[in-house]
Amino acid sequence: MTTTMVSKSNSPVIESRDQLIASFARGEKPPERWRIGTEHEKFVYARADHHAPSYDEPGGIRDLLTALGDYGWTPVMEGDTMIALSGADGSVSLEPAGQFELSGAPLETLHQTCAETGRHLDQVKAVGERLGLGFLGLGMWPDKTRAELPVMPKGRYDIMRRHMPRVGSLGLDMMLRTCTIQVNLDYRSEADMAKKFRVGLALQPLATALFANSPFTEAKPNGMLSFRSHIWSDTDPARTGMLPFVFEDGFGYERYADYALDVPMYFVYRDGRYIDAAGLSFRDFLQGRLSVLPGELPTLDDWTDHLSTAFPEVRLKTFLEMRGADGGPWNRICALPALWVGLLYDDGALDAAWDLVKDWSLEGRQALRDSVPRLALDAPLPGGGRLRDIAGEVLDIAHAGLAARARGNVAGDNETGFLDPLREIVRAGKVPAQVLLDRYHGEWNGDVSRVYDEYSF
């Protein structure tokens, strides 16, 4: 979710709607230039008592950022406050309550992706040893109330925290209490983007199910397997969801631009500060009629910022973002890009995946998405059956796509092995949240705090 701000002084002013549409076309790349960008968030906690550290406290989030400078990371500032880091492995940034995110660099292979993830985790664990911090891989804080969580000193988050309760009951939970894994992927053309978008949306519930890892709220089972996914259903209907128009004939850059223009604004960034524009219209901004900046026209960077404030299950920028997965342990961080690269980066696999889902009705797709947070692999498929009935077939398609890519490591292994954690979930018939619940009701004897010992990185 995080965007780290830079100066807008050199960004072109938007003079026509065509510039908005062209911004998506600029993302087009030939297959040899396609890359994989993986983002993953984790919860930071103090080992002594499991509290979520604030930004300013000794051994807190600021000290964690500062200490990572020893590994070559460069501070990114908002005013006088360090809010992120940049480096060869992408950027490290903060979610609203201090969830720690690596937004990885665009890489060619999954082997590189997993190595990047490993470097990052080695670094944060080494710093954590010195500071008394631990890192937890789940989709939602298992035991914290909202009131127990700190808020990071980032201007956009102040605006979002004020606005969220106006438009949904769970938006603050999304901001403060959740973690995700996300994959960013390229497209060659408008038609390729549309096909990947459709397959990504249709099969996003399968990713949600396989990665479902948020069954606890405030130390008790919450009745869901992915409460993080459920949260999006009552965050802000104007900027979330399954986007039925993506499946309509003629869908492309222009239709997505129209959707994004109808997403209410959050903010405008000017002169190092955020201006509250929550609920205002970007269409008015294009006409110089934005009430908080009268007479001023937006820049292309303003449009980029605005695109980052829409939260559908798949999101278009100059790449496609797959957004359905809960946070989890190290091997599942590598498994999510394996799933989507396998499905979307080989034409044969993409065709096979589309054949699997193309006849699903809009109502069936929505029903599947709505039931997955509670039922995971037992969610009903459009046309009959359950999601688990196609899970193995989808993994077979992804496996074939990865095998066709034939990207080997130094040992000669291709990328298919990164699917193994998902194969094991399908074979066992239990998603990660169900394993957590078994432990909670079994050897943990109802003590959720055991998760810190068993599920930390």
Domain ranges across the chain: 17-263+310-455
Residue 41 pairs in a beta bridge with 101
Residue 136 pairs in a beta bridge with 43, 456
CATH for 17-263+310-455?
3.30.590.20
Return the closest-CA partner of residue 103 out of 212, 184, 35.
184
Return the closest-CA partner of residue 455 out of 327, 324, 325.
327
Handedness of CA 321, 323, 327, 333 (dihedral sign): negative
- Would you give per-residue pLDDT tens digits along the chain (457 residues)? 444 333 346 899 999 999 999 999 999 999 999 999 999 999 999 999 999 999 999 999 999 999 999 999 999 999 999 999 999 999 999 999 999 999 999 999 999 999 999 999 999 999 999 999 999 999 999 999 999 999 999 999 999 999 999 999 999 999 999 999 999 999 999 999 999 999 999 999 999 999 999 999 999 999 999 999 999 999 999 999 999 999 999 999 999 999 999 999 999 999 989 999 999 999 999 999 999 999 999 999 999 999 999 999 999 999 999 999 999 998 999 999 999 999 999 999 999 999 999 999 999 999 999 999 999 999 999 989 999 999 999 999 999 999 999 999 999 999 999 999 999 999 999 999 999 999 999 999 999 999 999 999 9
Question: What's the gap between Cα 127 and its chain centre?
Answer: 25
Return the closest-CA partner of residue 158 out of 278, 46, 327, 64.
278
Q: What is the pTM of this model?
A: 0.97
Euclidean distance between CA atoms 144 and 85, whole angstroms: 27
Question: What's the gap between Cα 85 and its chain centre?
Answer: 19
Euclidean distance between CA atoms 46 and 56, whole angstroms: 14
Mapped onto helix, strand or coil, the DSSP state of residue 110 is helix
Question: What does the pLDDT look like over 21-48, one tens digit per residue?
Answer: 999 999 999 999 999 999 999 999 999 9
What are the DSSP E strand ranges found in 140-214? Answer: 180-185
Euclidean distance between CA atoms 309 and 307, whole angstroms: 5
